[in-house]
Amino acid sequence: MVGLPGRGMHLGIDPLSALFLCLLAPQVVAAAVAVERKSVTFWVFVLGMVLALVAADSFALILGFELMSAASWLLVLRGDRRPDGRPPATLYAGVALFSAACLIPAVFLPAGGIAFVLLLLGAGAKAGLAPLHSWLPRAHPAPSAGVSAVMSGGMVSVALYVIIRYAFIVFGNAAEPWWGTVLMAVGAASVLIGALRCLLEVELKTVLACSTVEHMGLIAVGLGVALRARAMDDPALASLALQAALLCAVAHALFKPLLFLGAGAVHHATGTTSLDWLGGLMRCMPRLGVLMLVGAAGMAALPLGPGFAPEFLLLHAVIAAAGSGGVMAWIGFAALFGILGLSAALALAAGVRVIGFGFLGRPRSLHAAAAEEADRLTLIGMGILAVCCVLVALTPGLLLRAMAPVISEAVPGALPQALAYAPLPLALLMAVLAAVAFVALRRFGARGEREVPAWNGGFGKPPVWLPFGDPATQPIASGFAEPVRRVLGPALLGRAGLDPGERYILAPLSRLHLRLTRLAELVRRATIRQRLAFVFGALVMFLLALGLGQNG
């Protein structure tokens, strides 16, 4: 009675959908416990994601995906409070319509290159992949913390699920190597742009949204390597790359909602999320600070963190893929390896920046100095995600074994490889060494306190007339990113004044960024009638192309 005439609507769960349902459950529970348990629109949003994951036919998938988009747009519209005159809800509506216009024909077209490109445009726009990523840093920070957490951890995961479902399972037999190459190129651009903007932005929620773009790019690179290897009949490499992509998706779906919930608690306690006006929160909000440290370890891909094992596997997959072709493959994968290495360094700097300037040092404002600990429900919700992050960080090998049916479903004939990284023994060894060092310091260390100069880390005793210390000795987040901003900021932000050598390298990137910004502005200013006309025209053109492809 529901669905297409004569076909109905079918639901079902297989290993791939079960994995993403397991990713969705903890973040929904955490967001509901912390903030959103009374919001009807939030639960409609969750229903749309669940329906998209359990769909067993194209109609049910599109219904769930668009229900998710509509509910998330209402949530963004409800939290749309931008003083800069650029409402993110309007831009988000345009991107959602563009995604629908590409995704609807993609899932009904026969397997082929056109269907794959439309799939990548439709689901990639929702996942925040470049060059359709500009809406994400604006829209994700707009709603409340619980909605931002599930949007950044759950909604983008559903979009990735659609790409994996159709590229590897539905279209898998028709896959060609250039599909993986396109996906790797899109992922590399997302990684580089997201990592750079993550280091340049000042607002905490915008920093986390840009980090989402980076991690979606990492997952896309892994999926691209796996798709290319599958098309070239290399199941071992495809299995390794797909393991990296799925493990990265698992880690991101846990630590990113944790960080967004923490950002919401910081905003509630201080009235701001600007890193330039925070500081000293580790003393005022110690429990929240410890939980944010767990999330920042995943964001920065630190060893013994949830984000390290996925990047470890991904780098190994890129190195292995370099030997699967000729000279051009070596050159391309060497460049990709360099981009991944640069993004890892930038992500580490961004994680240090979030914790160092947001939670350490001396408070930079009266609101930060008077902040109180987050409420109990928020800490419980964040604690659920933190425990899951620790489990993923310490037992990635067990998780990969549990994902073996998913790997076998996406890559027939693949044998998932064992992970050569064992974090649990390393964690036990570090715990023993820390205990020995603690006992030695208590037994032989000097007792008492001593004062140090004010420039020694900013913790010296401040004068009476400067309660927050000398501003010259308190670095700010903008100054920390100044070297990167001077070199690469003009290309990303569209500023003039480049040197001739810099202009030769960075001017094309600046022009591309300017064109994408103008396109986003046109989408934002378009009326609802114009957007619906675009969707209708696009569907007519796709149906016409399908009819010509079927001999009229």
Q: What is the pLDDT tens value at each position of the chain, 552 positions in all? A: 666 666 778 888 999 999 999 999 999 999 998 877 788 888 999 999 999 999 888 888 888 898 898 888 888 887 755 544 456 777 788 788 888 888 888 888 888 888 898 899 889 888 888 888 878 888 878 888 888 889 988 899 999 999 999 989 888 888 888 898 999 999 998 998 888 888 888 888 889 999 999 999 999 999 999 999 988 888 888 999 999 999 999 999 999 999 999 999 999 888 888 888 888 888 888 899 999 999 999 898 888 888 888 998 999 899 888 877 777 788 888 888 888 988 888 888 888 888 888 888 778 878 888 888 888 898 999 999 999 999 998 888 888 888 889 998 888 877 767 777 778 888 888 889 888 988 888 887 766 666 655 555 545 566 666 665 555 556 677 777 777 766 665 555 444 444 444 344 445 545 555 565 666 666 666 676 776 677 667 667 666 666 665 554
Q: What are phi and psi of 11, to 5 degrees?
A: -125, 150
Q: Which residues pair with 11 in a beta bridge?
A: 55
Show the beta-strand stretches assigned E in 70-160: none
pLDDT at 84: 46
Q: φ and ψ at 545, to 5 degrees? A: -65, -40
Per-residue pLDDT, 21: 93
Evaluated on CA atoms 273, 275, 281, 286, the torsion sign reads: positive
386, 34 Cβ separation under 8 angstroms = no
What would the 3-class secondary structure string for 245-278 be? HHHHHHHHHHHHHHHHHHHHHHHHHHCCCEHHHC
Whole-angstrom Cα distance, residue 342 to residue 326? Answer: 25
What region does 300 belong to: left with phi over 0, alpha with psi -120 to 50, or beta?
Answer: alpha
Short-list 17, 72, 148, 34, CA closest to 385: 34
Pairwise CA distance, residues 337 & 331, whole Å: 10
Residue type at position 36: E
Q: What is the pLDDT of residue 397?
A: 86
- pLDDT at res. 496: 44
Count of C-beta atoms within a 10 Å radius of residue 329: 15
User: Residue 116 corresponds to which amino acid?
Assistant: F
pTM of the entire predicted model: 0.83
d(CA 172, CA 16): 15
Q: What are phi and psi of 475, to 5 degrees?
A: -65, 155
The whole-angstrom separation of Cα 354 and Cα 348 is 10
Burial 531-551 (b: 16+ CB within 10 A, else e): beebeeebeeebeeeeeeeee
The pair of structure tokens assigned to 84 is 């800069």
Taking 3-state DSSP, the helix, strand and coil percentages for the chain, each rounded to the nearest 5, stand at: 75, 0, 25
pLDDT at residue number 501: 40
Dig out the tokens for 473 from the structure: 């000795």
Contact, 275 vs 341, CB < 8 A? no
CA nearest neighbour of 296 among 371, 219, 207: 207
The answer to whether the CB of 140 falls within 8 A of the CB of 205 is yes
105-133 as b/e: b if 16+ CB within 10 A: bbbebeeeebbbebbbbbbbbbbbbbbbb
Nearest to 478 by CA among 193, 277, 211, 209: 277
CA–CA dist 167, 153 (Å, integer): 21
Chain center to CA of 1: 38
Q: Are 50 and 191 in contact (CB under 8 A)?
A: no
Q: In the block, which residue shows the tokens 């994996």?
A: 164
Residue carrying structure tokens 């790409």: 163
Cα(509)–Cα(282) distance, integer angstroms: 39
